[in-house]
Amino acid sequence: MHLLLQIVAPHLWRLFAGIISVEGEADEYYMMPKSRVALFGREIASARRAVPRAQASLRNIDLHHRSYEAVDWMYWLLSSAEDLLVGRIPDLHYDFFMSLCRACRLLLRPAGLTPTELTAVDTDVKRFVRGYYASIYRGRWERLPLCRSVIPALLDIVENMRACGPEWVSWRFPAERKIGELGGVIHSRSKPGESLSTAANGSTRRSW
Protein backbone atom coordinates (compact mmCIF):
# COMPACT_ATOMS: atom_id res chain seq x y z
CA MET A 1 0.00 0.00 0.00
CA HIS A 2 3.01 2.32 0.31
CA LEU A 3 3.43 1.88 -3.43
CA LEU A 4 -0.17 2.86 -4.08
CA LEU A 5 -0.78 5.57 -1.49
CA GLN A 6 2.61 7.25 -1.21
CA ILE A 7 4.05 6.87 -4.72
CA VAL A 8 1.43 6.22 -7.40
CA ALA A 9 -1.36 8.47 -6.07
CA PRO A 10 0.95 11.53 -5.60
CA HIS A 11 2.46 10.87 -9.04
CA LEU A 12 -0.98 10.95 -10.68
CA TRP A 13 -1.90 14.18 -8.93
CA ARG A 14 1.34 15.85 -10.04
CA LEU A 15 0.67 14.60 -13.55
CA PHE A 16 -2.86 16.01 -13.80
CA ALA A 17 -1.89 19.22 -11.98
CA GLY A 18 0.85 19.92 -14.52
CA ILE A 19 3.69 19.63 -12.01
CA ILE A 20 5.29 16.84 -14.07
CA SER A 21 5.94 17.74 -17.68
CA VAL A 22 8.03 16.45 -20.53
CA GLU A 23 10.49 18.87 -22.10
CA GLY A 24 8.90 20.46 -25.13
CA GLU A 25 5.45 19.10 -24.28
CA ALA A 26 4.42 21.24 -21.33
CA ASP A 27 0.88 21.79 -22.63
CA GLU A 28 -0.34 18.21 -22.42
CA TYR A 29 -4.10 17.94 -22.80
CA TYR A 30 -4.45 15.82 -19.64
CA MET A 31 -2.91 18.62 -17.53
CA MET A 32 -5.36 20.93 -15.81
CA PRO A 33 -4.71 24.69 -16.12
CA LYS A 34 -3.43 26.38 -12.97
CA SER A 35 -6.73 28.14 -12.35
CA ARG A 36 -8.56 24.80 -12.35
CA VAL A 37 -5.96 23.21 -10.06
CA ALA A 38 -6.37 26.09 -7.60
CA LEU A 39 -10.15 25.69 -7.69
CA PHE A 40 -9.75 21.92 -7.14
CA GLY A 41 -7.67 22.62 -4.03
CA ARG A 42 -10.16 25.13 -2.62
CA GLU A 43 -13.05 22.73 -3.14
CA ILE A 44 -11.27 20.01 -1.17
CA ALA A 45 -10.38 22.41 1.64
CA SER A 46 -13.97 23.71 1.83
CA ALA A 47 -15.18 20.18 2.65
CA ARG A 48 -13.06 19.91 5.82
CA ARG A 49 -15.97 20.62 8.20
CA ALA A 50 -18.02 17.76 6.75
CA VAL A 51 -15.34 15.05 7.08
CA PRO A 52 -13.94 13.71 10.40
CA ARG A 53 -10.26 14.55 10.85
CA ALA A 54 -9.59 10.90 11.68
CA GLN A 55 -10.71 10.08 8.14
CA ALA A 56 -8.67 12.73 6.31
CA SER A 57 -7.28 16.18 7.02
CA LEU A 58 -8.57 17.58 3.70
CA ARG A 59 -6.00 20.30 3.31
CA ASN A 60 -5.85 22.25 0.08
CA ILE A 61 -4.15 19.74 -2.22
CA ASP A 62 -2.84 22.49 -4.50
CA LEU A 63 -0.89 24.07 -1.63
CA HIS A 64 -0.12 21.09 0.61
CA HIS A 65 0.20 18.02 -1.62
CA ARG A 66 3.88 17.64 -0.69
CA SER A 67 2.96 17.01 2.94
CA TYR A 68 -0.07 14.79 2.25
CA GLU A 69 0.03 11.53 4.20
CA ALA A 70 -1.21 8.11 3.14
CA VAL A 71 -4.65 8.66 4.67
CA ASP A 72 -5.06 11.89 2.69
CA TRP A 73 -4.17 10.16 -0.59
CA MET A 74 -6.48 7.27 0.32
CA TYR A 75 -9.39 9.68 0.76
CA TRP A 76 -8.44 11.37 -2.50
CA LEU A 77 -8.54 8.07 -4.40
CA LEU A 78 -11.71 6.78 -2.76
CA SER A 79 -13.78 9.95 -2.63
CA SER A 80 -12.74 13.42 -3.71
CA ALA A 81 -10.91 12.70 -6.98
CA GLU A 82 -13.88 10.95 -8.57
CA ASP A 83 -16.12 14.02 -8.23
CA LEU A 84 -13.56 16.74 -8.69
CA LEU A 85 -11.70 15.34 -11.72
CA VAL A 86 -14.78 14.51 -13.81
CA GLY A 87 -15.02 16.96 -16.68
CA ARG A 88 -11.66 18.49 -15.74
CA ILE A 89 -9.43 15.93 -17.44
CA PRO A 90 -10.16 14.12 -20.72
CA ASP A 91 -12.57 11.18 -20.54
CA LEU A 92 -9.85 8.79 -21.72
CA HIS A 93 -7.65 9.62 -18.73
CA TYR A 94 -10.56 9.85 -16.32
CA ASP A 95 -11.70 6.35 -17.30
CA PHE A 96 -8.37 4.62 -16.66
CA PHE A 97 -7.91 6.62 -13.45
CA MET A 98 -11.33 5.42 -12.27
CA SER A 99 -10.20 1.83 -12.90
CA LEU A 100 -7.59 2.38 -10.21
CA CYS A 101 -10.16 3.97 -7.89
CA ARG A 102 -12.51 0.98 -8.29
CA ALA A 103 -9.67 -1.38 -7.46
CA CYS A 104 -8.82 0.67 -4.36
CA ARG A 105 -12.38 0.47 -3.04
CA LEU A 106 -11.91 -3.27 -2.72
CA LEU A 107 -8.23 -3.29 -1.79
CA LEU A 108 -8.60 -0.83 1.07
CA ARG A 109 -11.63 -2.22 2.84
CA PRO A 110 -11.04 -4.10 6.14
CA ALA A 111 -12.66 -7.37 5.08
CA GLY A 112 -10.89 -9.94 2.93
CA LEU A 113 -11.62 -10.34 -0.77
CA THR A 114 -13.32 -13.27 -2.45
CA PRO A 115 -11.69 -14.88 -5.52
CA THR A 116 -14.23 -13.06 -7.70
CA GLU A 117 -13.36 -9.71 -6.13
CA LEU A 118 -9.64 -10.37 -6.51
CA THR A 119 -10.24 -11.05 -10.20
CA ALA A 120 -12.15 -7.76 -10.48
CA VAL A 121 -9.27 -5.90 -8.82
CA ASP A 122 -6.78 -7.56 -11.16
CA THR A 123 -8.85 -6.56 -14.18
CA ASP A 124 -9.11 -2.92 -13.08
CA VAL A 125 -5.41 -2.65 -12.20
CA LYS A 126 -4.44 -4.07 -15.61
CA ARG A 127 -6.83 -1.61 -17.29
CA PHE A 128 -5.19 1.26 -15.41
CA VAL A 129 -1.65 0.15 -16.33
CA ARG A 130 -2.59 -0.28 -20.00
CA GLY A 131 -4.26 3.14 -20.05
CA TYR A 132 -1.29 4.83 -18.41
CA TYR A 133 1.24 3.39 -20.82
CA ALA A 134 -0.95 3.98 -23.87
CA SER A 135 -1.97 7.59 -23.17
CA ILE A 136 0.70 8.96 -20.81
CA TYR A 137 4.00 7.26 -21.67
CA ARG A 138 3.01 6.33 -25.28
CA GLY A 139 6.17 4.29 -25.82
CA ARG A 140 8.24 7.29 -26.93
CA TRP A 141 11.83 7.79 -25.84
CA GLU A 142 11.39 11.51 -25.18
CA ARG A 143 8.70 10.57 -22.66
CA LEU A 144 10.91 8.21 -20.67
CA PRO A 145 10.55 10.37 -17.50
CA LEU A 146 6.93 9.19 -17.46
CA CYS A 147 7.85 5.50 -17.83
CA ARG A 148 7.79 4.82 -14.09
CA SER A 149 8.60 1.34 -12.82
CA VAL A 150 6.09 1.85 -9.99
CA ILE A 151 3.19 1.65 -12.46
CA PRO A 152 3.71 -1.98 -13.63
CA ALA A 153 4.63 -2.87 -10.03
CA LEU A 154 0.90 -2.50 -9.28
CA LEU A 155 0.36 -5.71 -11.24
CA ASP A 156 1.92 -7.64 -8.35
CA ILE A 157 -0.69 -6.54 -5.81
CA VAL A 158 -3.24 -9.25 -6.50
CA GLU A 159 -0.69 -12.06 -6.61
CA ASN A 160 0.77 -10.83 -3.32
CA MET A 161 -2.68 -10.83 -1.75
CA ARG A 162 -3.34 -14.34 -2.98
CA ALA A 163 -0.10 -15.43 -1.34
CA CYS A 164 -0.22 -13.34 1.87
CA GLY A 165 -3.86 -12.42 2.52
CA PRO A 166 -5.49 -8.96 2.81
CA GLU A 167 -3.15 -6.01 2.33
CA TRP A 168 -3.68 -4.72 5.90
CA VAL A 169 -2.10 -7.91 7.29
CA SER A 170 1.33 -6.94 5.98
CA TRP A 171 1.31 -3.17 5.56
CA ARG A 172 3.89 -1.15 7.48
CA PHE A 173 1.92 1.92 8.52
CA PRO A 174 1.29 0.86 12.19
CA ALA A 175 4.94 -0.14 12.64
CA GLU A 176 6.16 3.13 11.13
CA ARG A 177 3.83 5.11 13.39
CA LYS A 178 5.18 3.30 16.45
CA ILE A 179 8.79 3.80 15.35
CA GLY A 180 8.07 7.49 14.95
CA GLU A 181 7.02 7.65 18.61
CA LEU A 182 10.24 6.07 19.93
CA GLY A 183 12.37 9.18 19.55
CA GLY A 184 10.38 10.95 22.23
CA VAL A 185 11.11 8.29 24.88
CA ILE A 186 14.89 8.14 24.32
CA HIS A 187 16.31 10.62 26.84
CA SER A 188 19.97 9.61 26.71
CA ARG A 189 22.00 10.15 23.54
CA SER A 190 24.98 8.30 24.98
CA LYS A 191 22.93 5.20 25.88
CA PRO A 192 19.90 5.20 23.56
CA GLY A 193 19.37 1.43 23.79
CA GLU A 194 19.32 1.41 27.56
CA SER A 195 17.09 4.49 27.64
CA LEU A 196 14.62 2.90 25.24
CA SER A 197 14.59 -0.36 27.22
CA THR A 198 13.91 1.53 30.48
CA ALA A 199 11.05 3.44 28.87
CA ALA A 200 9.56 0.26 27.40
CA ASN A 201 9.74 -1.56 30.71
CA GLY A 202 8.10 1.36 32.51
CA SER A 203 5.32 1.42 29.95
CA THR A 204 4.79 -2.33 30.38
CA ARG A 205 4.54 -2.01 34.18
CA ARG A 206 2.02 0.85 33.89
CA SER A 207 -0.12 -1.22 31.54
CA TRP A 208 -0.33 -3.96 34.19
3 state SS for the chain: CHHHHHHHHHHHHHHHCCCCCECCECCCCCCCCHHHHHHHHHHHHHCHHHCCCCCCCCCCHHHHHHHCCHHHHHHHHHHHHHHHHCCCCCHHHHHHHHHHHHHHHHHCCCCCCCHHHHHHHHHHHHHHHHHHHHHHHCCCHHHHHHCCCHHHHHHHHHHHHHHHCCHHHHCCHHHHHHHHHHHHHCCCCCCHHHHHHHHHHHHHHHHC
Task: Please write the tens of the pLDDT for every residue from 80-102.
Answer: 888 889 999 999 999 999 999 99
Task: Please write the tens of the pLDDT for every residue from 136-171.
Answer: 998 888 888 888 899 999 999 888 888 877 666 656
Domain range list for the chain: 2-171, 174-207
Please determine, for residue 54, whether its predicted confidence score (pLDDT) is greater than 70.
no
pTM: 0.76
